[in-house]
Amino acid sequence: MKITYKLMLPLVLFFATMQAFAQTDSVPSGEKVKKGFSFGGVPVVAYNTDVGFKYGALVNLYHYGDGSRYPNYDHSLYLEWSRTTKGSGINQLIYETQTLIPKTRMIVEASYLTEIALDFYGFNGYQAYFNPDFSTTGADDYISRIYYKHSRNLLRLKADFQGNIKTEKTRWLAGFEHYGTEVSTVDIAKLNEDKAPADQLPPVPTLYDKYVGWGVIPVDQKDGGNVNIFKVGFVYDTRPTEANPDKGLWDEVILMSAPSFAGNDNAYNRLAVMHRHYITIPGVPNRLTFAYRLAYQATLSGEMPFYMLPYVIDTKQTRDGLGGGNNLRGIMRNRVVGNDFAFGNAELRWIPFKTVVLGQNFYIGLNAFADAGIITKPYDFEKAGIPTEELHYFEHLDEKPHIGYGAGVRFAINNNFIIAVDYGMAADKQDGSSGLYIALNYIF
């Protein structure tokens, strides 16, 4: 089982979520209308054999104004600082506002993410062979625990704006993103520090090292690079609330361009389309909802560098993918990487318990889900340098849907600060076995 988590002890939110300078008014439903400021915070605690002990904290500050828009907020500020004892880290600030500029939404992000051992399984889904024994200590085919890893440092800067087209339901989108990416092989010497000889990683090539040596990853891309992206698009949004809507549509079409005049070595244009639908189960409003998401991303022209392939772009937040807790739960992170891809999620969401605790609206939610993704156009790479005896690793199976399924629980304060716990299982062992994910918010 793969465990991907940031947060431990979800019940800490009872103590860590507090109200500051806020007023409340009673409403007929029994909830409180929030005004002014409120914030939630939890410690970040985790452990991994190779990257070490993870520690830090995250805080999400909300401002509800006069409460007329509750449970939607006027401003949100998300801050996270976390480190591992072996060098990985998250430094992230995300500011979102819907009122600072009249009739305009704005999301600004500044993130510096360091990962000493980031998942890397090759390209094009099932065409890339995965053998769990290669990274399982004691297995007959064991190579290294970090065989399917490489190192990445990422500076991401983002500014997105959405403005109303007649009404708030239809909006234009314009934005800019900068990705400063540094890629390298894993620093085995650092990971071996303070380890007994029997626990040390062997000095052998990783899959990333082999790809570089064979020319699968071009020499001019192996160390990363800078990418500047301009975005324009259209959003149609009929959700009555945003954190966990029980009805409505949320659709978007985004055109992305990384032109050569903006300093991009690899110029390309890309399309992202996403459809989300929230359906109230008749007779159970605000309690039982069926929600699904369908998404498609494709390169329209040019060629993306390999280190830009594993991203899912939408108007809320750019995520790594496909695979992992943000899109294909139960499937290994970055398992499904190709030029064009499609994916979908279906969830049945139930809120069996709601109350008010210390003046804060609180609910517990349960959800069952199924996720699926597929490469629709493979990433084209040079095969001339691949040894003949290794070619079968690149032509293993025909691509088909990667499927994960499972269930989860949510703990929510004031409808917006939501601790999410999901457990997903992969339907095919080529995608891994299972994963436990503890993070914030519903995934869509």
pLDDT at 21 over 50: no
Write out pLDDT tens, residues 159-211.
Answer: 999 999 989 999 999 999 999 999 999 999 999 998 899 889 999 999 999 99
Return the closest-CA partner of residue 35 out of 26, 47, 25. Answer: 25
Question: How far is 430 from 412, CA to CA, in rounded Å?
Answer: 35
Question: How far is 81 from 93, CA to CA, in rounded Å?
Answer: 9
Structural contact between residues 343 and 403, judged by C-beta atoms closer than 8 angstroms: no
pLDDT at position 9? 44
Write out pLDDT tens, residues 312-370.
Answer: 999 888 888 899 999 999 999 999 999 999 999 999 999 999 999 888 899 999 999 99
Residue ranges per structural domain of the chain: 2-440
Task: Please give the mean pLDDT across all residues of the chain.
Answer: 90
pLDDT at position 8? 47
pLDDT at 47 over 80: no
pLDDT at 305 over 60: yes
pLDDT at position 103? 87
Which structure tokens are listed for 361? 């609206």
pLDDT at 3 over 60: no
pLDDT at position 11? 42
Residue 277 is which amino acid? H
Residue 338 is which amino acid? G
Q: What is the mean pLDDT of residues 276-299?
A: 95
Write out pLDDT tens, residues 22-37.
Answer: 444 444 356 788 888 8
Return the closest-CA partner of residue 77 out of 102, 108, 55, 47. Answer: 108
Q: What percent of the chain has pLDDT over 70?
A: 92
Q: What percent of the chain has pLDDT over 90?
A: 74
Can you list the pairs that 275-280 forms with residues at least 24 positions away whose Cβ atoms lie under 8 Å?
275/249, 275/250, 275/251, 276/249, 276/250, 276/251, 276/444, 277/248, 277/249, 277/250, 278/239, 278/245, 278/246, 278/247, 278/248, 278/249, 278/250, 279/247, 280/246, 280/247
Write out pLDDT tens, residues 232-282.
Answer: 999 999 999 999 999 999 999 999 999 999 999 999 999 999 999 999 999
Does the domain made of 2-440 have the CATH classification 3.40.50.2300? no
